[in-house]
Amino acid sequence: MGKHTIFATVALTFVWIILMEGFSWQNAAIGMFMSMLSMHFMGKLFGFEEIKNVDFYKLIVYPFWLVCRIYMDAFYLTKMILSDAKWGIMTERLQLDNEALCLMLADSITLTPGSVYLEREGRNITLLCIGDKKRPGYPVAIEDLRSIESMLLRAQKSGE
């Protein structure tokens, strides 16, 4: 049983307890059993080559950080809506190599207000952005993208 299996089992058990809307040792035991059973069948039926080079322990704080980022960007977006804003499409080159982390980046950038993921070809990502008419380009969207990417780069293991 590796580190990834322990992390996934605990995470799935935590989700089970949340979905059951109550904590008891019976819920925790059943959740742990169902998590291990799910992990066993997923491991037998699917190959997870794309997540082998991801350090999941470095992603533990990522969901909490992302929620904070979403709220900060919501205040910026409110300011942009109430002021003179522009929208447009931009393409940026990513530093991430791992496919799973690139998908997490695309989903995360869509969750943060102010930019929407449109497509990704290779290492290039295309976003629909909102920005200030007084500033050229979309520096806030680029800053958000780089901030999320730097958080995910921490979890990318070298060796790809």
Summarised one tens digit per residue, pLDDT across range 71-120 is: 998 998 888 888 888 899 999 999 988 888 888 899 999 888 888 999 99
Q: Could you give the maximum distance between any two Cα atoms of the chain, in Å? A: 59
As a whole number, mean pLDDT of residues 30-45 equals: 85
Q: How far apart are CA 130 and CA 144, in angstroms?
A: 12
pLDDT of residue 133: 85
Confidence band of 33 (pLDDT split at 50, 70, 90):
very high
> Do 43 and 121 sit in the same domain of this protein?
no
Domain membership of residue 141 as a residue range: 58-153
78 and 108 housed in the same domain: yes
pLDDT in tens, 66-79: 999 999 989 988 88
Would you say residue 76 lies in a domain? yes
Total domain count, the chain: 2
Query: Is residue 85 domain-shared with residue 116, that is, in the same domain?
Result: yes
- Is 9 within the bounds of a domain? yes
Residue 158 lies inside a defined structural domain of this protein = no
**41 and 72 share one domain:** no
Considering the domain boundaries, does residue 52 fall inside one? no
